Amino acid sequence: MSEVVLITGAATGIGRLTAEALARGGYTVYASMRDVNGRNKHHGDTLTALAAAEGLRLEIVELDILSDTSVATAIEMIIGQEGRIDILIHNAGHLVMGPTEAFSPEEIAGNYAVNVIGAHRVNRTVLPYMRAREHGTLLWISSTTVHGGFPPFLGPYAAAKSAMDSLAGSLALEVSRFGIETVMVSPGAFTAGTEHFPKASHPADHERTAAYARYDDVTGSIGDRLSALMPAEAHPQVVADEVLRILNLDHGTRPFRTVVDLLGDGAEEVAEVAGKVRTAFFGRIALDDLLIPAAKHE
């Protein structure tokens, strides 16, 4: 019996590539996205056609992480069809770029809503089912901005991803005794193969943005500067392949954090030290059992 996977934000980019990789790897995949009958209809139809052509267990599901009703409806549908969700992949997110000062508080709150609160909303709907079964995996697509170097004018986005990462790390300890495992996958910047940079949002306050004109040489070249560090063959497919490799490992043996960085931004080195500090600290307070998902109680 194949494991049932729900992926948020699977219309394009890493989410879509992961949906395809896992389905081809034998998983039952629910690729979720907003507006499947509207702006994402083409993406959904393409995945549906792929599933039919290759005989994959890959189904499109409408799910807007900003809507309680949409999330509840999607989860109820999957549970009704499968009876469970074994793996929840938090991939949905949105990039914003521009002078931090130029973003209104409401714009920054909106970015947090997508990158942080949306994942929490989905968790609150899925976790009761995982806790009842005493089994499950939460896999978070984080970012090397949490631990590595990153250019300026990504402040609100980096702050939101760090908040999501911190939330995931804390939650991991709170659900491990229910047999729920947490996996963090931190991709570096990919300037090709995704719509991350092309669809980035910018602050609406053009006057404050213009006040930072002396940085135009920076803001106008961030993508090019990052691309210059990337190998010519770099493609986010490597992230999807790594997710598949990790999930193919036995439950309870998967690494807490894996960095997929082709830029060399330092995230891997910092994450390694952070992991050692995390393990040592919980050993010191005699809570190191929380770092590993408990075996299911019979």
Residues serving a catalytic function are 157
- Classify 12 as helix, strand or coil: coil
Continuous H helices in 33-154: 41-54, 68-82, 105-112, 118-133
Tell me which amino acid residue 234 is. Answer: A
**176/292 Cα distance (integer angstroms):** 6
- Classify 236 as helix, strand or coil: coil
- Asked if residue 114 lies in contact with residue 66, where contact means CB atoms within 8 angstroms, the answer is yes
- Compute the half-sphere exposure of residue 48: CA atoms within 13 Å on the CB side of its CA: 12
- Asked if residue 291 lies in contact with residue 284, where contact means CB atoms within 8 angstroms, the answer is no
Angle between helices 105-112 and 155-175 (to 10 degrees): 40
Alpha-carbon distance values, 284 to 166, 279, 281, 296 (Å) = 20, 9, 5, 26
**162/183 Cα distance (integer angstroms):** 15
**126/184 Cα distance (integer angstroms):** 18
What six digits make up the tokens of 205?
């306050």
**121/41 Cα distance (integer angstroms):** 24
Task: From 227, 242, 173, 241, select the one nearest 196 (Cα to Cα).
Answer: 227
Return the beta strands (E) in 240-291 as ranges. Answer: 257-260
